[in-house]
């Protein structure tokens, strides 16, 4: 048993020490870091280049569905609804009182 414990500590000792440290695990600031990361992600998803990419994606979905016929209409509708959810998520969150 001692040989196995020594081997585990040699291989995973640093990883265990990092897991036990609350400052490195971001567990000490009470969630402020998470809200900052999520706000940044929402900002990226609502930026002008992201909107351009989503508009081009919808144009591509429409072209593949209607002209080429390589994409079933059911999957195209699901993709367009998904893009709509991404853009309307912050609006719905603000209307529910969750946003700033």
40-92 tens-digit pLDDT = 777 877 788 888 888 888 888 888 888 888 888 888 888 888 888 877 777 77
Domain range enclosing 45: 31-100
What pTM value is reported for the model? 0.49
Residues 51 and 93 in one domain: yes
Residues 14 and 48 in one domain: no
Residues 92 and 45 in one domain: yes
Residues 19 and 36 in one domain: no
What's 96's DSSP letter? T
Which string of b and e fits 46-79 if b means at least 16 CB within 10 Å?
A: eeeeeeeebeeeeeebeebbeeeeebeeeebeeb
Residues 1 and 48 in one domain: no
């Amino acid at each position: 048993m001692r040989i196995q414990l020594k081997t585990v500590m040699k291989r995973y000792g640093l990883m265990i020490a990092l897991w036990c440290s609350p400052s490195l695990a971001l567990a000490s600031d009470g969630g402020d870091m998470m809200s900052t990361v999520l706000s940044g992600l929402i900002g990226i998803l609502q930026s002008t280049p992201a909107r351009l990419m989503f508009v081009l994606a919808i144009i591509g979905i429409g072209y593949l569905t209607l002209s080429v016929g390589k994409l079933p209409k059911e999957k195209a509708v699901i993709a367009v609804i998904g893009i709509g959810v991404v853009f309307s998520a912050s609006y719905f969150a603000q209307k529910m009182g969750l946003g700033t």
